[in-house]
Amino acid sequence: MVKIVALLFLFFTLAFSAVNINRANAAQLQTLNGIGPSKAQEIIKYRKAHGVFKNVDELVNVNGIGPKTVQKLKPQVTIR
């Protein structure tokens, strides 16, 4: 029973909280729809090379992420 409650808490926490793309690790980034291991690594690589994202639209500059993906990600991510 405790495991079920813990899993439900984790699910709702992830489902209703935005992922900070300036702080998230690869595992956290992979909770986003359309972001798998390779795109998560590309986001981290971009962040290390260019510094923090100043706005979510900058994700379009990440290798493998286009404008449509950015639009889908906007409700799921934050920079703060």
- What is the residue extent of each domain of the chain? 18-78
What is this structure's pTM?
A: 0.79
- Tell me: pLDDT of 18 over 80: yes
Distance of CA 55 to the CA centre of its chain: 13
Q: For residue 51, with 0-12 CB atoms within 10 Å meaning exposed, 13-18 middle and 19 or more buried, which class applies?
A: exposed
pLDDT band, very low/low/confident/very high, at 17 (cuts 50, 70, 90): confident
Mean pLDDT of 34-45: 97
pLDDT score of 13:
55
Q: Which residue has the higher pLDDT, 8 or 49?
A: 49
Domain 18-78: assigned CATH number: 1.10.150.280
Does residue 16 carry a pLDDT above 80?
A: no
The band of 27, judged by pLDDT with boundaries at 50, 70 and 90, is very high
